[in-house]
A = this chain, B = another copy of it.
């Protein structure tokens, strides 16, 4: 498959992508988030960009004539066909990421809500820089350099205890004198102490940075923030280099048990973050040593591997992380290519399969401060969910499996060119028409396509409520060696030269995945003796939300049958929460508290989850009263 370099301006960031990846997806990889409220189907018209060089395939879509006439295209509907250059107008950007954008549907209309990232918190970064002009020593005012420095610092800090690392202390005497006693002291304030991390000559307080990192199993995204202003200086994203040791957390944990496996994985993720740092440092012409702190969010396995902790016992019964409250460590400890004395914070790995990415999400959505009963769901290979409000938080993880990401499905694939993302089936003839990503010749089915497929198969009666094919008169329905399958696209019409089918095994697989998610939700509700109706708001986090057709998801019983107005898509809350915690010490403290406050429900204990799971292995469910809006 061809690869193209996509360079974004004014950032001048280049990412390399495979054929069939949209400009919007490429932008996300480059750490640039574009507005979008339509699920990337070309209808909201918000992701307009201007291609200023190279060849593209433009599939059109809803774009104002003003923008179209000025040469803009929709990033979600435009695909590179060579190396290209793209200019991103300010109005297409997600407001420098200082807001949390959520989209929801009110009375059938998509609405976008923006929450000021810092709302309710003071701007009070965990790492700050203070400019000091010290009185020079004299023969009578002869306190030591450190005493002099800390006396002045205390005027700016409430901390009684000020710590200084030896490497900084070793340069103190010379720095102070070369700087003529005018210095900028950068400190991380946590656990009741102020930890000096650097001392520089002159007033460099405007030139100190923090990094918010979302360490995903698949991709790693970093935001560079200016610690004085709180503004986002730049963003970058790339694939997690751990991918070559396994696609998902389970295979990585298995690899970690190999000789040097843990070290390989640790170095791979550190190398990934260092690559992003290198990119950001070069693009924004800053010194890497001026990156003075890092806030990282990731699932428990990623957080363990990031710190070099063995994930071995996360995988083995009784599934115990090494540490829930992950201690701050130094960049030196990890080998991050920033100031080696910088402190690196990680959100709590509160349970083996509910980690810092979820804590970060709860933090930045403010669900732990809300009156409304909120359900937060992040669906990937695992479905992680949190239910609660200001009064309590319960959480669990259910193994959804990789089906929604195309894993374990005969023709499953990620949302790349040629992936079937929508389809319709004629209820009389069972003829199928498909829409594919980038209008490519069909090569497989992505997550949203699979959900749509199940929904439509059920709609036309091709499958029953258990997912079993029903005898109909159509040559698309046939028997393979392992069971029945249904032809979605005939071989001659595909890009792979063979029939694209969905098998009964695929369908059962998807039903198990959706059943696990739904059973998780029900189990959480049971824990707190609550009905589905008690939920005021459902927050869908992560990339999954971008592609999800809500009514499909409800009609197959993946998500609760609640008014669509209750649903909000909140995007990558993991990196947002990390940004928030960088900019507010109170927010970081709240994140620690959220980690401690959440009650983790281990679903393998007792029979609740298994009972719920079995009940959910129907379309939409055995108990139809739970899905009143879905035709029986």
Contact = CB atoms under 8 A, between A and B. Distances in A.
A256 to B, nearest CB: 11
Given A138-B318, A192-B161, A312-B173, A145 B323 contact: yes
A327 B163 CA distance: 8
Interface string A344-378: 00000101100000000000000000000000000
Interface residues of A, number: 49
A501 interface: no
A321 B630 CA distance: 78
A138 B138 CA distance: 64
A325 interface: yes
Contact of A602 (B140, B161, B312, B351): B140
Contacts of A349: 144
19 contacts: A139-B317, A139-B605, A140-B602, A142-B351, A142-B602, A144-B321, A144-B322, A144-B349, A145-B320, A146-B323, A146-B324, A147-B323, A161-B192, A169-B322, A170-B307, A173-B313, A177-B313, A191-B193, A192-B192
Contacts of A161: 191-192
A307 B310 CA distance: 34
A602 B161 CA distance: 28
A312 to B, nearest CB: 7
A600 B142 CA distance: 9
A364 B307 CA distance: 43
B602 A145 contact: no
Contact of A324 (B144, B192, B309): B144
Given A173-B313, A313-B177, A604-B139, A322 B146 contact: yes
A198 B192 CA distance: 24
Interface in A118-177: 137-140, 142-147, 161, 163-164, 166, 169-170, 172-174, 177
Given A333-B166, A605-B139, A147 B325 contact: yes
Interface string A85-125: 00000000000000000000000000000000000000000
A333 B309 CA distance: 22
Complex A-B, nearest 5 residue pairs according to Cβ-Cβ distance, in ascending order: A146-B323, A144-B324, A139-B318, A144-B321, A173-B322
A327 B164 contact: yes
A308 B139 contact: no
A490 interface: no
Contacts of A327: 163-164, 166, 169
A145 B605 CA distance: 20
A525 interface: no
A351 B147 CA distance: 11
A319 interface: yes
Nearest to A351: B142
Nearest to A140: B605
A170 B308 contact: yes
Interface string A294-331: 00000000000001111011000111111111010100
